[in-house]
Structure 1
């Protein structure tokens, strides 16, 4: 069956309960309780090994009882709430290597998926809405005896014109443009609406997609089914927030309020890292006796991987009880979690189990294995994986190039990176250019990184965005080239690129590494005030850590407050940095434990040591004698 488990200590002996799952722990039919991978301390003096898979099978266990037990333990993309535990490397917000997996809706390559009805491992996407049954064929086609090719060409031309109308329409004033489109006798049915939605999602124009969805319903252009409501719900959550999305769920006809609706809401809770709300939605799905799927469980696994790894065990138990077989995405999450915890043996066993289940490792899985081998100092194993990733002919297997470039750089193998780049150099793709810039930056070859950047700008004049500029900006930041970084930032603005969170993050690091922390703070504050997109968690932490080192409690508290205002709540990482400010200042931190408890955050070993240092009422051996 599946594999990944073994318990060093029975969960039921701990007697914990978790908000997401409301039942006692369950006992393995193999005589073990499932636990889940990294060594974490749940009770004083007791360790639980999470995701320990020495005795595969992966998840052999959620056996009796309707719910699964969980415990009060700790843990975004960077084990941010588990600071102080061993990690395979410094992880940053939104950067754990499975970024496209971590986004519950597949915003890229949607058009390719549309005909296949793919869900992917994401939220309900508009690609799900296109099915043979739902597509409305143009009734006039057969009457006019158009050939399939002519019909398809005509559809594409009409869709192109329709997209131009939508894009040109002023914000919040799309209705007039659509009214005019219909008045001119143009078609506007399910094909046009769904195809346009796919394109808008691909470009992340969720606001316009929402307007189009609202228009189609209010003008009764579509007979809404559950997937249409789910698509609308997803857009509302993205554009207007979870609260508005929840209200919309109540307006959906009860007959259409099924599993797809709630898993869409669940996935958006995960995107926004709202653990409490995600657990509530998951429980509601179970209370409603909706069909539970691996998709919904994967969403919780993704959330707990970011915020509280110890709860992963509960999801695995639940999956086995419900006979939900792990998907490739499940294994990717678990392998990544093992790697982040420096459990190379466990990672390898998961990998073997995945292959035994008939799942073929893709580029992401192999590159993850190589990454964690490198972090663990197992360079020979890493090289073996990379050679396997290359295959017999790298030109044929070109898709691996973007992964190989930075990994060879991590190994310090400039010759191998050069060999890979030569395959791409004559006709590089954007992703390959970004990977090459990253690789040359890691190898300290700044001029080569700049050369690739200029080639990219020249080859992709219209396709280059702020993300591509940011790749070189990060190189400058890592090498403390402040002047070059400033010039590149000005060039980015002059080119008309939209400056977003990734660029802010690179600029913050650039100034912090140059010793200009206050300037970095100012940049981040202005970015947050723009109100369009919130800065990354890592941007705040880069500045906060610097204030903490200085013992600047005032500014550290200020950043802590801004983190909360941006929605980053309940992570032990920010508490640890703030505590360090008090430790460095040798100042007492009154009521700090209560502050943590209010956010449902509990100290790990490192934080407990910090709390002892800043305890205003702590007595030393000398003070005891004097008393």
Structure 2
């Protein structure tokens, strides 16, 4: 039976966590902790603690068998590394891959350090859309994509009237290409036309694809309502797992738990895919619940996949818990699951971030050995990591391997690497090569170069690049906004960053990235500017961002720095199901308008 080893050696400067002694094989899994609030007691057997499901929450019955440890499976929520995690998880939250929600579960990482190239937990959910992405766009796709606005049905009617073929293979390839280019609105029109015109006999995968598109275009509420329109015979597991995956993409904990519980009520089997969705969600938003999911997997005999281990390794890594991360890897290997290149890249990234240069170098060398049959594939991953480690010789060595005939991803990886080395000239030279090779770039590619200027505080060059981007006809999207916001902030112009983001939202009616708001909010907090910090908090709420620990952390820091009382802050946090750790509890006490002091006691 699988096991996930708890970390056993305390790490310096990490607060206490609470765990229980439930043992899976040779591994103890921490089951519950509440920030730094410690409860003690004797150990208990796993049978003393079972998981049950309420209508609106994933809940656990607690035993009293708790004792103190300075490690847990997932480090405390909201520790000082929360900014690092937000950067990993939220920085690209709008950029998940454009596959259907019932395809590879790796697509649900939404830009985390976990890659989506492997398929270690298919669960039989691959459908006809899983066609090689190397194939050129089809004629049908070109007809749909070139149709203006809401005229996709007219373009399709014309296609049929001309007697052109419309097989399931053609439909699947066109749909895949629409998704890859994030043309979700046109893909939804295509799906609706197919059903309305009877051009395709819908099966559960087709309904799931429609559900996924509705969630992306019209939101979770409309997607959930659509399920009632699906024939009962097709309202199977694939439908609900698609909705669950979109709840995770939206970071909606309450709705994700409701859907998960609904799947159990409908007696669908609890799959690795579904559990991995919850693990991804809790890794981002509530690490305390990770152990609950693992216990559920043990109880239901759900086998973890390679991707499960990647999530747990990443959860440890973003919490700077290197010992815990290594012990998860040990357990993974003991279960006979080998680390692939993407798993190794997660390890290398976290070692590099924590300054463990020798360990990161060893992993990078291992990545090259693992990928010896295709010695160039790892370059796109290794280049930025060598840049992070400030190893210019290694960056030059890998770029020389690619230089004669670089692939697109290698170009971009090299730009990132030279940017981390502060060698803007080299990064610019490669970017100019990209511009010469490809006539039109996406906002993501421009943003790669823009980030180099941001990190090097080159505001003027950054503005020039944004203008060049707009002149080329490339859409300036939330990823670009994020880079511009950081440019202004790095230049000390926080108010301009705030104004720019607000104008961009009003003009485009598109939701910015989480990090765009947080970098501005953090600056206001550092100044003790309570008014503007609250303003940013309010804007995020209006745009539908679920309240997170990091938001309250920044807001409370604003009050502390302003030496101002915060009325009802504890109640606000409780209403959003956000709980303070030891450090934040101390700051809350400082801004408590009704706290007792020696002077107040004398005055009374």
TM-score normalised per structure 1: 0.82
> Which string of whole-angstrom CA distances, capped at 9 and with x for unpartnered residues, describes residues 517-569 of structure 1?
11101111122223453111111011111111112111111111111112112
Q: Which residue of 2 is the match for residue 499 of structure 1?
A: 476
In the alignment, structure 1 residue 366 sits paired with structure 2 residue 359: no
For the residues of structure 2 that align with 1:603 and 1:562, how far apart are their CA atoms? 22
The Cα offsets for residues 498-528 of structure 1, whole Å up to 9 and x where unpaired, read as 1111111110010011011111011111222
User: 1:63: how far off?
Assistant: 8.1
Note if 1:44 corresponds to 2:37: yes
Aligned pairs for 1:564-579 (under 5 A) are: 564-579=541-556
**Equivalent position of 2:127 in the other structure:** 128
Superposed CA deviations along residues 104-133 of structure 1, whole A, max 9, x for unmatched, are: 7469999xxxxxxx99479999951359xx
Q: Does 1:254 align with 2:232?
A: yes
Instruction: Using the TM superposition, name which of 523-532 and 293-302 deviates more.
Output: 523-532
**Residues 88 and 622 of structure 1, relative CA distance in 2, 3 Å threshold:** closer
TM-fit CA distance, 1:597: 1.6
Q: Deviations over 1:209-235 (max 9, x none)?
A: 111111111111122111111111111
- Alpha-carbon distance in 2 for matches of 1:71, 1:398: 50
Deviations 1:2-45 (A, max 9, x none): 1104599xxxxxxxxxxxxxxxx9965769973269xx544733
Deviations 1:164-183 (A, max 9, x none): 22122222222222122212
Match of 2:16 in 1: none
Question: 1:129 aligns to what SS in structure 2?
Answer: coil
Q: What's 1:592 paired with?
A: 569
1:163 and 2:141 correspond: yes
2:173 corresponds to which of 184, 195, 205: 195
**Superimposed CA distance per residue, residues 598-619 of structure 1 (whole angstroms, 9 cap, x where no aligned partner):** 2121222222122111111112
> Aligned ranges for residues 13-52 of structure 1 at < 5 Å?
34-35=29-30, 41-42=34-35, 44-46=37-39
- Work out whether residues 528 and 534 of structure 1, in 8 Å CA contact, stay in contact via their aligned partners in 2: yes
User: C-alpha distance in 1, partners of 2:432/2:511?
Assistant: 30
Per-residue CA deviation, residues 207-264 of structure 1 (Å, 9 max, x unaligned), is: 1111111111111112211111111111111111111001100111111111100000
Tell me which residue corresponds to 2:114. Answer: none
What is the match of residue 335 of structure 1? 313
Matched, 1:175 2:153: yes
Q: Which 10-residue stretch deviates more, 405-414 or 97-106? A: 97-106
TM alignment of 1:327-476, pairs within 5 A = 327-391=305-369, 396-462=374-440, 464-476=441-453
Matching residue of 1:94: 89
Report the alpha carbon displacement of residue 466 of structure 1 after superposing the two structures with TM.
Answer: 1.5
Pick the aligned partner of 1:238 from 216, 224, 231. 216
Deviation (angstroms), 1:191 = 2.2
**Distance of aligned partners of 1:335 and 1:27 in 2 relative to their CA distance in 1, 3 Å threshold:** closer
For residue 51 of structure 1, what is the aligned residue in structure 2? none
Structure 2 portions without partners, runs of 5+: 9-19, 63-73, 108-116
Query: Residue 610 of structure 1: which of 557, 580, 587 is its match?
Result: 587
* Counterpart contact for 1:82–1:573, Cα < 8 Å: no
Secondary structure, aligned partner of 1:533: coil
Pick closer, same or farther for the CA change 1:297–1:522 going to 2, 3 Å: same
Question: Do the aligned partners of residues 31 and 198 (structure 1) sit closer, same or farther apart at CA in structure 2, a change above 3 Å counting?
Answer: closer
SS at 1:575's partner residue?
A: helix
Q: Summarize deviations over 1:45-98 as a string: whole Å, max 9, x none.
A: 3489xxxxxxxxxxx9998565575499xxxxxx99944345695641636899
Distance in 2 (alpha carbons) for counterparts of 1:486 and 1:96: 21
1:109 and 1:36 mapped to 2: Cα distance? 25
- 2:473 and 2:543 map into 1 onto residues whose CA distance is 26
Corresponding residue number in structure 2 for 1:84: 79
Q: Secondary structure at the match of 2:87?
A: coil
Cα 1:613–1:244 change in 2 (3 A) is same
1:169-318 mapped onto 2 (5 Å cutoff) = 169-318=147-296
Of 541-550 and 371-380, deviating more is 371-380
Bigger mean CA deviation after superposition, 523-532 or 197-206 = 523-532
Pairs aligned (count): 560
- Determine the structure 2 residue equivalent to 1:114: none
- Secondary structure at the counterpart of residue 545 of structure 1: helix
Comparing 526-535 with 401-410, greater Cα deviation is found at: 526-535
- Structure 1 segments unaligned to the other structure (5+ residues): 9-24, 49-59, 73-78, 111-117, 136-155
The 2-side partners of 1:254 and 1:515 are apart by 58
Choose 588-597 or 180-189, whichever is displaced more. Answer: 180-189
Give yes or no for the alignment of 1:621 onto 2:598: yes
CA contact (8 A) 1:236 1:244 kept: yes
Any idea what SS the aligned residue of 1:391 has?
A: helix
C-alpha distance in structure 1 between counterparts of 2:367 and 2:207, whole Å: 41
Partner residue in 2 for 1:16: none
Give the secondary-structure state (helix, strand or coil) at the position aligned to 1:169. coil
For normalisation by structure 2, the TM-score amounts to 0.85
Deviations 1:392-441 (A, max 9, x none): 99794101111111111222111111111111122222221221111111
Q: CA 1:119 to 1:445, structure 2 compared with 1: closer, same or farther past 3 Å?
A: closer
Q: Does 1:4 align with 2:20?
A: no
2:526–2:561: 8 Å Cα contact kept in structure 1? yes
Q: Secondary structure at the match of 2:148?
A: coil
Name which of structure 1's ranges 267-276 and 440-449 shifts more when overlaid on structure 2: 440-449
Residue aligning to 1:513: 490
- The verdict on how the C-alpha distance between 1:516 and 1:266 changes in structure 2, with shifts beyond 3 A counting, is same
Secondary structure in 2 aligned to 1:569? coil
Q: Are the equivalent residues in 1 in contact too, given 2:416–2:448 (CA < 8 A)?
A: yes
* 1:554 is the counterpart of 2:531: yes
Q: Secondary structure at the match of 2:482?
A: helix
1:34–1:61 contact (8 Å) kept in structure 2: no
Q: CA 1:42–1:578 in 2, change beyond 3 Å: closer, same or farther?
A: closer
Pairwise CA RMSD of aligned residues?
3.5
Tell whether the 8 Å contact from 1:62 to 1:319 is kept in structure 2 after alignment: no
For the structure 1 residues 108 and 87, does the alpha-carbon distance in structure 2 shift closer, same or farther, using more than 3 Å as the test?
closer
Cα gap change, 1:100 to 1:63, in 2 (>3 Å): farther
Matched, 1:543 2:520: yes
Distance 1:567 1:359 in 2: 39
